[in-house]
Structure 1
């Protein structure tokens, strides 16, 4: 469909009887008007030449303004058509009034974080908000455009994270991923041209470094199980950790959300918080022993097993998220002390329960079964995860060569 952009005098007078000078944008037979902010008497308008008559005291200045607005509108139309096959007169008007090219990184970042909050993706929000903050503070420019985000700037930012903030290479990559996500969003919105994209094989590469996942051994877990004379807080942290481990490293957030009503017929039935999967596990005898510690505090069938969520506002996702986050931090503090008491030389955190299950299972369990236990959506994820703990074949191969 054809487009038509003209300067004109809109025949809609204000209270003083003057008419607005506008850019008329017609697309697919729909018209929108972009106001210049100037009004004149109708006698000064030359309809044939579409300009302000010379008899107007400011005719030269107003006509130059109209020429510039017309050129801007036509250039905007060309730019938009480069990115989109079909655009409306309203879109053209919006772009002229508030050019996308002037949209800053912070503008897009704020909208992105707002979307995460509105959709209750609070874990992502917590992580990405900090990462956006690192970059915004580093550039110290709220008006930084996406055109200014090039390889050189990203390399300086990476070095800043490593040297000034002392973060790991994995954390550096996580920060770059957020910037890449926002840059891709800016490309889709037509804010920046794809040819300026600073990421890629020959530019800024997003590649996670290999990380060593260390889990506890059977003997080390037995030493934790056997600990006595623990304070109430430490005993509780130990119980939650063991509960997680006994169920293949269930995430702390899922453990804390378990209700007594989720347990029946000797099984735990729950919906995984990360991907909403509905799962069912037969409870090991060791878990049944743990549950006895909390039965006396059971108020009703729908009550939470563990105390951290009992006073949570279940209608407020932020309150739930904050209580899980606070509890996880508290558990990890006590687990450090538990590790010392058990004479462990390894780091002990809630997440290590998952690594420990992987370390002990090794290659004893078929990978498809491990996928179910870990609640992974893809078996490929399970293969990559479990590869950290499967050493028997390499150990046997090494022995065959050197044992002579």
Structure 2
């Protein structure tokens, strides 16, 4: 029976409800799948034409990527059929996977970054792109293979980041995490054998250093709330910051995309951009005066509460990311002047709203409830995050020893 390779959608959704796109390899009625790393909603897939529908914001780019992978797979299949008569779908998959997913670190990393860009993960794409560039500049070799990235190479790279790039230990670890992720993909796709893996207990160990998260106190937040000598842009920055803080530290990217239609039954209902999770929160009384300030500019229920996204192309990940980035820098600039007026010496940024909620929550709220508010997938993440702000037990223990 003739062999065939086709692009298909596998009906096994991930945790976000998205479905993986794969190359289906069929030989003698036996099938194997080679995953492309791309995921789409079921409604965005055309099963007849085997393409991503135009309803997907990046349909053209995705279809181009799928076509390129399918073309490469067909090329390898034709070569195999012309030289071998007896070959299984599993063997075909193995032969196709190497050229399909490339062999050098640069080619693999380019594919990895492209997938993140296509899937709209632009924040991670931007940061990981810089980290990949660090490695390529250090290696000075665009043909760098995975076998060359051994323990000794990585130790030299770490020294380079520390001495030449002046990066912190946390930033160095973040660079290693990207390399490890791409290396694991290479192993999974048959590009390199696991025996060459440079990470592990007896090799390069990745351990995140403890980081200090500083939040504002109740007194400092009251100072911000009570300021009456603010300019119009400063007042807006304060409103956005307090909106985030009052609702358990919602991330600025989510705050700016909240619409009037997301508020009903005296609650905010929204989906987090970071992990696509739904959250419903009761509106605190303190939030109502802030909302009232923006009612005059309301252009229907589907309009955004805050103005930053009113002119954004919401079908373009790139435009949303760019406008969010620009808005965050602008807000942080005005928050800096607000901190000066409130006589707060701590660095006041949009992200500090989340830390401030954690700091004030301290031991008052159970870890399980904080996990729900933060929408963390693992309670371990909540415990580690909240450990920065829970000092009651240690303070009391120290007091007992010193009180003599």
Aligned match of 1:86: 90
The C-alpha deviation readout for 1:216-235, integer Å capped at 9, x for no partner, is 10011111111222122211
CA separation in 2, counterparts of 1:135 and 1:217?
41
Paired residues of 2:246 and 2:284 also in contact (CA < 8 A): yes
Aligned match of 2:253: 253
Determine whether 1:331 maps to 2:331. yes
Aligned match of 2:239: 239
Aligned match of 1:219: 219
Aligned match of 1:147: 147
TM-score, normalised with respect to structure 2: 0.76
Aligned match of 1:354: 354
The C-alpha deviation readout for 1:21-51, integer Å capped at 9, x for no partner, is xxxxxx9899xxxxxxxxxxxxxxxxxxxxx
Aligned match of 1:170: 170
Paired residues of 2:158 and 2:172 also in contact (CA < 8 A): yes
Q: How does 1:276-287 map to 2 (within 5 A)?
A: 276-287=276-287
Aligned match of 1:312: 312
Task: Check 1:99–1:325 CA distance in 2 against 1; reply closer, same or farther (3 A cut).
Answer: closer
CA displacement at 1:94 relative to structure 2? 8.2
Task: Check 1:290–1:145 CA distance in 2 against 1; reply closer, same or farther (3 A cut).
Answer: same
The C-alpha deviation readout for 1:73-115, integer Å capped at 9, x for no partner, is 9xxx9xxx9xx99312x854886xx598x82110000011111
CA separation in 1, counterparts of 2:357 and 2:284?
14
Aligned match of 1:189: 189
Aligned match of 1:12: none
Aligned match of 1:109: 109
Task: Say which SS state the counterpart of residue 334 (structure 2) adopts.
Answer: helix
CA displacement at 1:154 relative to structure 2? 1.1
Task: Check 1:266–1:144 CA distance in 2 against 1; reply closer, same or farther (3 A cut).
Answer: same
TM-score, normalised with respect to structure 1: 0.76
Aligned match of 1:302: 302
CA separation in 2, counterparts of 1:110 and 1:358?
38
CA displacement at 1:237 relative to structure 2? 1.1
Determine whether 1:262 maps to 2:266. no
Aligned match of 2:119: 119
CA displacement at 1:253 relative to structure 2? 0.7
Aligned match of 1:19: none
Moved more, 155-164 or 212-221: 155-164
CA displacement at 1:197 relative to structure 2? 0.9
Paired residues of 2:94 and 2:190 also in contact (CA < 8 A): no
CA displacement at 1:250 relative to structure 2? 0.5
Q: How does 1:26-175 map to 2 (within 5 A)?
A: 86-88=90-92, 92=95, 103-175=103-175
Determine whether 1:208 maps to 2:208. yes
Determine whether 1:403 maps to 2:403. yes
Task: Say which SS state the counterpart of residue 397 (structure 1) adopts.
Answer: helix
Task: Say which SS state the counterpart of residue 87 (structure 1) adopts.
Answer: helix
CA separation in 1, counterparts of 2:97 and 2:219?
67
Paired residues of 2:224 and 2:342 also in contact (CA < 8 A): yes
CA displacement at 1:261 relative to structure 2? 0.9
Task: Say which SS state the counterpart of residue 123 (structure 1) adopts.
Answer: helix
Task: Check 1:373–1:93 CA distance in 2 against 1; reply closer, same or farther (3 A cut).
Answer: closer
Count of aligned residue pairs for this structure pair: 324
The C-alpha deviation readout for 1:298-332, integer Å capped at 9, x for no partner, is 11111000000001111112211111111112111
Task: Say which SS state the counterpart of residue 269 (structure 2) adopts.
Answer: strand
Task: Check 1:94–1:226 CA distance in 2 against 1; reply closer, same or farther (3 A cut).
Answer: closer
CA separation in 1, counterparts of 2:100 and 2:233?
57
CA separation in 2, counterparts of 1:272 and 1:365?
22
Which entry has the higher C-alpha Rg, 1 or 2? 1
